[in-house]
């Protein structure tokens, strides 16, 4: 199975930093964020090639140069130019690179998570759906909470882990390659396509999208250097698990 790292986002939440360096290159413990994801994927027995999909005509060129000059993994890394047509629209450029692969792993570059790829893949195969999305129902909050009754605080909870009412969708997917054909058709109607709402939503209404619950596995959305700095302990813990 091929693994695709989606690294073409503009990273607007990380500005002004991401005006000069792509989100994939946000520094984490002295290395770019994308390095840890690619390294983790390269260690998986079920991944035979890593594809980084991004805008390499602009500042995204920094990603390509970094891997060419500083990184050597056992697994081949291929770079595919996108067209800035949304998280769904850009996937159409994978058609030739995926070849005859029946499915592929899609990993949004701002997701730092030691998800068990083998277990997720097996779950996907057993579900017999078009796509499986990693989700979580538990989240450790970054602020303090209070238990209140009749306007009186009874107890403080410092950065508790809470159970969410709805499952939170993470940016890690296993997708049937046939979806590329759907995307190609939809692009004739709409240029910029969101993967979840424009492509997967109609399939979900027919019961064709599975959810892989990561339980209490650690996860962090890294959208800026500030997020890294504010969550040092969590970042360090995830990096150790990725190694």
- Is this structure's pTM higher than 0.85? yes
The answer to whether 146 and 157 have CB atoms below 8 angstroms apart is yes
Q: Where are the beta strands (DSSP E) in the chain?
A: 2-6, 27-28, 31-32, 49-54, 76-81, 103-108, 111-112, 131-140, 144-149, 152-158, 161-176, 209-213, 220-221
Q: Which residues contact 85 (CB under 8 A, 6 or more apart)?
A: 92, 187, 191, 192, 193
* pLDDT for the residue numbered 21: 84
User: Where exactly are the structural domains of the chain?
Assistant: 2-242
* pLDDT for the residue numbered 232: 92
Q: Which residues contact 78 (CB under 8 A, 6 or more apart)?
A: 49, 50, 51, 52, 97
Cα distances (Å, whole numbers) of residue 38 to 29, 60, 133, 182: 15, 16, 19, 27
Instruction: Identify the burial level of 61 via C-beta atoms within 10 angstroms of its C-beta, where 0-12 means exposed, 13-18 middle and 19 or more buried.
Output: middle
Q: Which residues contact 59 (CB under 8 A, 6 or more apart)?
A: 20, 21, 22
Written as tens digits, the pLDDT of the chain (243 aa) is: 999 999 976 656 766 777 788 899 999 999 999 999 999 999 999 999 999 999 998 888 999 999 988 877 878 899 999 998 999 999 999 999 998 899 999 999 999 999 999 999 999 999 999 999 999 998 888 788 999 999 999 999 988 888 888 999 999 999 999 999 999 999 888 888 999 999 999 999 999 999 999 998 999 999 989 999 989 999 999 999 998
48: tokens are: 């035979």
Please tell me the distance from the alpha carbon of residue 239 to that of residue 114, in angstroms, as a whole number.
8
**Structurally, what CATH architecture does the domain formed by 2-242 represent?**
Alpha-Beta Complex (3.90)
- Can you tell me which residue has the tokens 């970042």? 235
Please tell me the distance from the alpha carbon of residue 239 to that of residue 219, in angstroms, as a whole number.
11
Phi then psi for residue 81, to 5 deg, are -75, 135
Q: Is it true that the peptide bond before 16 is cis, omega within 30 degrees of 0?
A: yes
């Amino acid at each position: 199975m091929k693994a695709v790292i989606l690294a073409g986002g503009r990273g607007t939440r990380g500005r002004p930093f991401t005006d000069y360096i792509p989100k994939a290159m946000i520094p984490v413990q002295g290395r770019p964020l994308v390095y840890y994801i690619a390294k983790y994927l390269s260690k998986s027995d079920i991944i035979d090639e890593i594809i980084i999909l991004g805008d390499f005509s602009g500042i995204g060129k920094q990603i390509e140069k970094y891997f060419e000059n500083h990184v050597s993994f056992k697994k081949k890394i291929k770079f595919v130019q996108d067209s800035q047509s949304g998280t769904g629209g850009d996937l159409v450029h994978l058609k030739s690179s995926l070849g005859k692969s029946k499915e592929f792993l899609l990993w949004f570059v701002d997701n730092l998570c030691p998800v068990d790829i083998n277990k997720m893949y097996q779950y996907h195969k057993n579900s017999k759906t078009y796509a499986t999305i990693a989700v979580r129902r538990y989240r450790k909050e970054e602020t303090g909470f209070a238990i209140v009754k009749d306007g009186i605080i009874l107890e403080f909870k410092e950065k508790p882990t809470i159970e969410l009412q709805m499952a939170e969708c993470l940016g890690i997917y296993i997708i049937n390659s046939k979806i590329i054909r759907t995307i190609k058709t939809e692009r004739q109607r709409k240029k910029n396509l969101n993967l979840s709402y424009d492509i997967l939503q109609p399939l979900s209404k027919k019961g064709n999208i599975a959810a892989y619950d990561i339980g209490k596995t650690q996860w962090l959305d890294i959208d800026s250097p500030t997020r890294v700095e504010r969550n040092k302990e969590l970042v360090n813990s995830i990096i150790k698990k990725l190694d």
